[in-house]
Structure 1
């Protein structure tokens, strides 16, 4: 499973909760392959404030979504 769409979906929701106005498509174009530092630079440029723990919240949300979307592989079970 490609994690990038999941990452962008979670990031988009977080950015909206911090006052951002990006569409999902804009978020995708801006942040695919980007680091958390680049997201923080965007937040500063836009005058948006995120809690200090935003990256931890993002990772936690991604992990939760990942677990809901994936299931254990049985390819190696006997």
Structure 2
């Protein structure tokens, strides 16, 4: 992610900004907008390396969230 500052106002399908607005956007989009003269790149955040030690997803219990039929209904 890159922190950018808009030089001019612009609008597109993915993003719109006004002059002076600061925002974090995708690196590729930031580079493209910078080349076009629409934004100034203030800083680039490095992506955190993904680790295999992330919290495991909870597995749903077999009958969790399911209604059971009553014998008397």
Fold match (TM-score > 0.5):
no
Point out the structure with the larger helix share: 1
Q: Rg bigger for which structure?
A: 2
Question: Which TM-score applies when normalising by structure 1?
Answer: 0.27
